[in-house]
Amino acid sequence: MSVLVKSCPHCPADFSTFTLVWAGDRGGGRWAAAATCGSCRLPVGLFLVHSHGHSKSPMDHLGSVTPDYVVNGFWPKRPVTNAPQHVPPSVRKRFLEGEDAYHRKSWNAAVAMYRSALDIATKTFEGIPKGTFFKRLEWLHNNHHITPDMWSWADRVRIEGNEALHDPDDFTEDDAKPLRLFTEMFLKYVFELPGEVAAFREDTEEA
């Protein structure tokens, strides 16, 4: 059986064993191939090039095809995670850690990092009072930093742990998904939008 180890673009597996299921000769020791992930069983396409230009099919190779074959193309690509623009570095770090955990389906870690990103983000405003996240969010609403819809939206997602009910031992995708969306939209509204407007005004003044 011919295999190779790669990060899967379909699932959270970073070092999944892919099994080659097909290879077509492209000449000169080059092969177009298809393989399936050992974790999620979904397919990928790839180009393999024999390191010495031999014409032997990688399907006839026993075990890992590398280093005899070099992977010279792998599709699809794993999605690149980005944070909204103009966010403070500490907020960006927490958000990206949340995104990484979300894509790995580590719901507890994702919820914790999204909450942390929001918590730090609301503390960056000058004059904002101390207290709970919702106290700070109320101040942002009263001072027109967020819209009434966003203020209402916050009530519908699990941004803070409920001390009366206690957080469950394990969160689910149903907890993480709405919190992820709220966090992204919040950061875009309070950081990215004002930052882009300021950049546009600066460019206009310089023109």
Q: Which domains does the chain have, with CATH numbers?
A: 2-75 (no CATH), 89-206 (1.20.120.330)
pLDDT digits (tens, 9 = 90+) for 71-129: 999 999 988 889 999 999 999 999 999 998 998 889 999 999 999 999 999 999 999 98
- Give the mean pLDDT of the chain: 90
pLDDT digits (tens, 9 = 90+) for 154-191: 878 877 654 434 455 689 999 999 999 999 999 999 99
Residue 136: CB atoms within 10 A of its CB come to 19
As a whole number of angstroms, the distance between CA 179 and CA 115 comes to: 8
